[in-house]
Every structure is written in C-alpha cells, then in structure tokens.
Amino acid sequence: MVVPAYNEEAYIGPCLAALVAQSDDIHEIIVVNNNSTDRTVAVVEAFMRTNSKVTLLSERAPGVAHARNTGFRAATGDILGRVDADTRVKPGWARAVLDYLSVDGAHVGGVTGLNVPYDSPVRSLKAWWFGRHLKKGTIGGGRRVTNLHGANMAIRRAAWRRVEPLLSTDAELHEDLDLALCLGKVDVQLAQLSDMNVELSPRRALTPPSEFGEYIECGIRTFERHDSMTDEKRKALRLHWWWHILVFAVYRPYDPRKKRYSVRYLLAPVRSRELPVSAEATSVTIEDAVERAS
C-alpha cells in the first residue's frame, strides 16, 4: 500500500490506523513524504514504532505523481495499492481487492472502488445514492471502467511495469487519470468493485470555484495528452465545474466539528484543500514518453 503525503498531519493518523487494522491482508504500508513542513513525518514515525509494516520514504520532487512513483518502485508486492492520506479504508477493503484479482478479475489489471465522505452534510444522501445504483448494477459489481480514483485504487505490479515509461509527472495533469489512460493504451482492463469502499475527507468541496476551474482544466489537458478529448468529455468537465459551485455552497457554512451549519463558520476563512495540480511543470506527450522508453 502506497500513501503519498504532503502536510497531512491532521489526516494521516486515521488513514494509517485503518490500514494497520487490515495488516493481515496488507503486507506493507509505504508513506511517501513529499516535502511536508508540518508534523506528518512525526505522526508516521509514531506508527512505525508500533507496527513494522509501516515505512517512510522521502521524495523531494514535488507532486503526487513523483511520490506515487517512488512508492510503487519501492513496493514489493504483486498488487500495488494506493490511497490518499485523507482516505480511510473500510473493513474488508484489502480482502475485496485480493479476492477479486485472484478469482473473478484474474484477467483484470487494476481496480478502483466507491467512497462516501466523512464530516459531511451529505454523507447519508451519497450513501443512499450508491446503494440505489448498486442495486441497479450501474456502479460496482466488477463492471469495466476507464478511470482509476487515486484515493482508492490498486493495480498489478506487472501492469505498473508496462506503463511506467509512458506516465507523465507533469503537475498540470491528473496523475490518476493519466495512469488509467496509459493502462488503457496497453489494453489493461480496469474494474470497479462494490466492496472496495473508503471514506474520504470532503475538503476538496471547499475549494473556491475560482480555483476549482484549474482542476477542471487539468482534466482537459490530461485527455488531450492522450488524444482522447471529445466534445462530450469537455462538456461533462464543464458541468462538473458548475456542479462544484452548488457543492461549495452546501459545504461552505457546514462546521464538521459541530456537525451543523453555522453562520460563524460561514464567515470564517475558507479551509480549502491545496489542489494536487500546478501550472509550473512542462508537458510531456505520450509520443515523447514512448521514445524515451525505447
């Protein structure tokens, strides 16, 4: 299991606690510190003193893709799990992955799952929505998908080795989408599982819409890198931005500590999540990557 981390002292503890609780099915937990300036390292080191499966690596090159790559290269298992530092895997997560990839998904190269937010005013609503669509068979159930959610995914080591030379570390791209599209280019199948469940922090919902626009643009650039951008995808991404305005309005006045809406919280400074994208990196095309790997 690989967990990239940058200034995650408030989240990494519960993340590791949930993973350690499944240590019978997770043989290593690798946290990759990506230039944290808070107490992230101290929290991880405290876990290391009581659990030998937790290890800590350092990656100086900034960006989730660099941290992910460092963790995947160091991992020794045949299945490479990956979650975010604010992810809390639900009981049975690892067993669901192992069972599926060894039986029904023997020819599948990667899996992703479902999530509900914690500290959220819409937690129950989202859980109801998932339950309804699980019954319909429109999500989960091992259905084939074309994307991986970086906060909740696992791939075979063999699949990783096939696509590693093709991957970009451009911080203007979504690293999980880039990974999924690269896997698709080499005909690696991906599946969405019903029992691969996690809880996530809803903090990205607090990203101001003016900043979230850059997140959407990174999605567009990622599809363009793979020459797979279509009018339908562009429209869906734009709609995602408009949907985020509504989500931001719902979350902005909600105080997760008191679990209620608060005028005082509404007037407090926005506690937005730093977006995992940057406008400072240079683009690398798939053709460039293939040429470098050949």
Could you report the per-residue pLDDT of 220-268, keeping only the tens digit for each? Answer: 999 999 999 999 999 999 999 999 999 999 999 999 888 999 999 898 8
pLDDT at 293 over 90: no
Q: What share of the chain in percent tops pLDDT 70? A: 92
Cβ atoms of 30 and 71 closer than 8 Å = yes
pLDDT at 98 over 50: yes
- For residues 198 and 207, give the distance between their C-alpha atoms in angstroms, rounded to a whole number: 21
- For residues 95 and 101, give the distance between their C-alpha atoms in angstroms, rounded to a whole number: 10
pLDDT at 11: 96
pLDDT at 156: 98
Of 137, 148, 78, give the one whose Cα is nearest residue 111.
Answer: 148
| pLDDT band with cut points at 50, 70 and 90 for residue 30 | very high
The chain-wide mean pLDDT, for the chain, equals 91
What does the pLDDT look like over 59-91, one tens digit per residue?
999 999 999 999 999 999 999 999 999 999 999
At residue 137, the 3 state secondary structure works out as coil
Q: Mean pLDDT across the stretch 110-125?
A: 95
pLDDT at 286: 38
Q: Mean pLDDT across the stretch 16-43?
A: 97
Give me the residues paired with residue 56 across strands: 31
| pLDDT band with cut points at 50, 70 and 90 for residue 273 | low
User: In the numeric block, which tokens belong to residue 120?
Assistant: 């959220």
Q: Mean pLDDT across the stretch 38-65?
A: 97
Cβ atoms of 145 and 192 closer than 8 Å = yes
What does the pLDDT look like over 128-181, one tens digit per residue?
999 999 999 999 999 999 999 999 999 999 999 999 999 999 999 999 999 999
pLDDT at 214: 94
pLDDT at 205 over 50: yes
pLDDT at 294: 30
Cβ atoms of 163 and 186 closer than 8 Å = yes
pLDDT at 287 over 50: no
